Each structure stands twice: as structure tokens, then as C-alpha cells.
Amino acid sequence: MTVASKPTSAATPAVRVLNLAGIDYTLHSFDHDPSTRRYGTEAADKLGVGSDQVFKTLMIQVDGAPVTALVPVSGQLDLKGLASARGAKKAQLAGVAETERRTGYPVGGVSPFGQRHAVPVVIDRTALEHSSVFVSAGRRGLEIEIRPEDLVMLTNAQVGKIAALD
């Protein structure tokens, strides 16, 4: 992967963070179907990669505090596992309006990079099984391919078992 010159239209806050950090990544775009609601599955299908390699970014309330969780689209977030990983009692999904307000991104395009408000990040451990993973670049139809170690380092993430895999 290399940092290639990116078109200005692709310069989302997430892309700007990666460029400023000097992190190697590849930007992938595809034509998003507006009728699609399974954004991660759409990305995996259109990019021709496994759904275990594409990670969805979810905003979660853990004992009332916001946390960003990244899990493969091939599975689902294990709320009890996330709460346990954070040393908390309860975790629940944040609503769409709260997610968009807190992150600055539309649902289906939420990136773990360049969010409006920095919050703790927890990434499912399966990310480390891949040489690269895909996360949203800040809008639907735009994905960042990045080494999982760089994803963990740049987000200062905790890694744990937080996904229930299909």
C-alpha cells in the first residue's frame, strides 16, 4: 500500500488524518446504491474482498460513555463482550442522530479517523488476522484499506474479542 495522490473530492476528515500522520493506505471508491442499508456488505461485494476483512464502525454507549467499536461486517457486535473489554456493565448502540452528531459522518460512512469528538476505540481482535483491513473513509462508497497495526496505532485502540462471528 502506498499513499497515492488523492483527488480533492476524496479529502474527507479521515483521509486528511491519514495524510497528516504519514500512514500508508489505499483509498477505494465504488458506486454506492442509495437503496442499500447493509453498507459494509455492499463495500465487501463491490470491492471483491471478504466480509471478514471489512470493518464497520459503530458508536456505542458503554456505561453512558461513548465508545467507537470496529467489528467485521461478517459478524455482529457482542455488546456484553464490549462492556467487559471496557470494564463496564452495560453497552448499547447509540442512535443514528447521536452517531452523526458525535462523529460528523453519515451512518454508513462513519470512519474511525477524524471524528468530530475523540472517543476510545475498541477493535475486534480478528482485524489482526489480516494483512490489511477496510474501514469507511467518511462517506458511503469510499473505503480506506490499511494495515491493522496502523489502524490500532493511529486510533490508540484497545483490541479485544467484541464480535460474534456468523
Q: Is 39 a member of any domain?
A: yes
- Looking at the chain, how many residues does it have? 166
CATH number, position 80: 3.90.960.10
Q: Is 69 in a helix, a strand, or coil?
A: strand
Q: Is 95 a member of any domain?
A: yes
Q: Is 3 a member of any domain?
A: no
Cα dihedral 116, 21, 53, 140 in deg (nearest 10):
40
* Ranges of residues in the chain whose predicted pLDDT is under 50: 1-8
Number of domains in the chain: 1
C-beta separation of 164 from 75 below 8 A:
yes
Q: Is 40 a member of any domain?
A: yes
Range of the domain at 113: 8-165
Q: Is 137 a member of any domain?
A: yes
Q: Is 1 a member of any domain?
A: no
> Smallest Cα–Cα separation from 72: which of 150, 148, 155?
148
Q: Tell me, yes or no, if the pTM score tops 0.85.
A: yes
Element (H, E) at 142: strand 142-146
pLDDT tens profile 115-159: 998 999 999 999 999 999 999 999 999 999 999 999 999 999 999
